[in-house]
């Protein structure tokens, strides 16, 4: 029996404009500065931590004045928010469709595999989201967390479908979803693939581990 979940809606951020990145009229130069700022901030936040990396540090890395950064971002928290929100939005866009077809086992296997692959492709942003999201003010953190809940709840719905079909056995699908997603997130903190084959093996192993866990959960 196949999953009957519909494909997820496309995710479009409904934001108060915090940078030209979200402004349709922004010129190419402004967008280039914003993108460079986000990439450099991701590296600094990963290496030093959000609290230890200042706007002055970021401006120095970019060889621009701090005032130029403030032209694009009202403050450091807006940079952190943009990194976390963009990453989670893109993650959902790429990973959620993996849940929308096939049997529950197939859907979970594909999803966890893509979860791991995405986490390695965008490792810096993923690490910032995991480690530094707590530093966001509540109103901004809530926007990122809403996207995280959307993913978790979609995974839980597939687990519930698998439970109804008798292939998965958790009595609390949401708890089971959190368990396998915590497992999938963990590899981003330590795994450094030697090559593509090494990454593919890990992604497949994690996907298999998630299915085995859900089958054997009692």
Q: Does one domain contain both 192 and 138?
A: yes
Residue 33 has pLDDT above 80, yes or no: yes
Q: Does one domain contain both 154 and 195?
A: yes
102 phi-psi bin (left φ>0, alpha ψ -120 to 50, beta other): left
Tokens 């986490």 found at: 119
Taking the C-alpha atoms of residue 144 and residue 86, their distance in angstroms, rounded to an integer, is 9
Q: What is the mean pLDDT of the chain?
A: 88
192 phi-psi bin (left φ>0, alpha ψ -120 to 50, beta other): beta
Within a domain: 161? yes
Within a domain: 61? yes
Domain holding 27, by residue range, is 20-74
* One-character DSSP codes across 15-65: ----SGGG-TT--HHHHHHHHHHHHHHHHHHHHH-TTT--HHHHHHHHTS-
The count of structural domains within the chain is 2
Q: Does one domain contain both 37 and 95?
A: no
Q: List, for residues 60-108, the tens digit of each pLDDT value.
A: 999 999 988 888 899 999 999 999 999 999 999 999 999 999 999 999 9
Q: Does one domain contain both 176 and 130?
A: yes
The pTM of this model reads 0.84
Report the range of poorest mean pLDDT among 63-77, 106-120, 149-163. 63-77
Q: Does one domain contain both 179 and 210?
A: yes
> Do the Cβ atoms of 48 and 80 come closer than 8 Å?
no
Q: List, for residues 189-207, the tens digit of each pLDDT value.
A: 999 999 999 999 999 999 9
For the domain that residue 66 is a member of, what is the CATH number? 1.10.10.60
Within a domain: 10? no
pLDDT of residue 22: 45
Q: Does one domain contain both 154 and 69?
A: no
């Amino acid at each position: 029996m196949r999953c009957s979940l519909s494909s997820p809606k496309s995710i479009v951020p409904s934001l108060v404009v915090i940078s030209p990145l979200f402004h349709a009229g922004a010129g190419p130069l402004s967008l280039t500065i914003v993108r460079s700022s986000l990439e450099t901030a991701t590296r600094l936040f990963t290496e030093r931590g959000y609290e230890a990396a200042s706007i002055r540090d970021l401006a120095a890395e970019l060889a621009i004045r701090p005032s130029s950064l403030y032209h694009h971002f009202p403050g450091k928290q807006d940079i952190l928010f943009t990194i976390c929100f963009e990453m989670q939005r893109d993650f959902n866009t790429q990973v959620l469709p993996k849940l929308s077809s096939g049997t529950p086992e197939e859907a979970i296997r594909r999803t966890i595999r893509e979860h791991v692959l995405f986490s390695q492709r965008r490792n810096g942003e993923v690490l910032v989201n995991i480690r530094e999201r707590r530093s966001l003010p509540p109103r901004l953190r809530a926007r990122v967390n809403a996207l995280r809940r959307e993913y978790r709840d979609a995974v839980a719905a597939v687990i519930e479908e698998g439970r109804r079909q008798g292939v998965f056995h958790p009595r609390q699908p949401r708890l089971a979803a959190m368990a396998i997603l915590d497992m999938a997130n963990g590899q981003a903190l330590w795994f450094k693939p030697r090559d593509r084959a090494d990454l593919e093996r890990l992604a497949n192993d994690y996907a298999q581990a998630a299915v085995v866990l859900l089958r054997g959960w009692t």
